[in-house]
Structure 1
Amino acid sequence: MEANEPPIRIIVPGRTYRSDHDATHSPMFHQCEGLVIGDGIHMGHLKGCLIDFCRAFFGVDDLPVRFRPAIFPLPSHLPKSISAVHVMVAG
């Protein structure tokens, strides 16, 4: 990132592993992290970056994408919560 001038847009797809051992959870799922850095950047820029990624990844120009915000409370010895956005892709 230090070699590039802002704005910087990064999408990092990958596998995520967790130690849930019940029938309702898979021990592995796919997740994408998104990061947009620059002056005057807001959530709309990150949302646009994620939409562009989803449409390029699935190869569909008019792919419907829905964003659903979520907050995950954490144990008391950690920061209060983690904010996330679930991206739902129909198709």
Structure 2
Amino acid sequence: MIESKRYLVLDGEKKSIETAIIDYIGILGWAKASPKFVKKSRKNNILAINKKELNNIIASFAISKNKINVLKVSGTLKGLDN
């Protein structure tokens, strides 16, 4: 069974993104969301996550101590090119 993914463009460091997710949803939530860093540009990271956990992931960035902004969410990588 193929998991449907959502791709997030994030303004923040990789380590702070990982820490925010673990602190908010824990190890079990991490496993459910199955986050994977797809690409990294100069300032932004692209994170692929399970579609069902999108709200939990965004909430973890909202309450994080570090400043992590979600710049864009898309169902495809091509949708992030704009």
Q: TM class by shorter-chain length?
A: under 0.3
Bigger relative contact order, structure 1 or 2 (CA pairs below 8 A, ≥6 apart): 2
Q: Is the helix fraction higher in 1 or 2?
A: 2
TM-score norm. by structure 2 comes to: 0.27
TM-score, with structure 1 as normaliser: 0.26
Structure with higher strand content? 1
Greater Rg by CA? 1
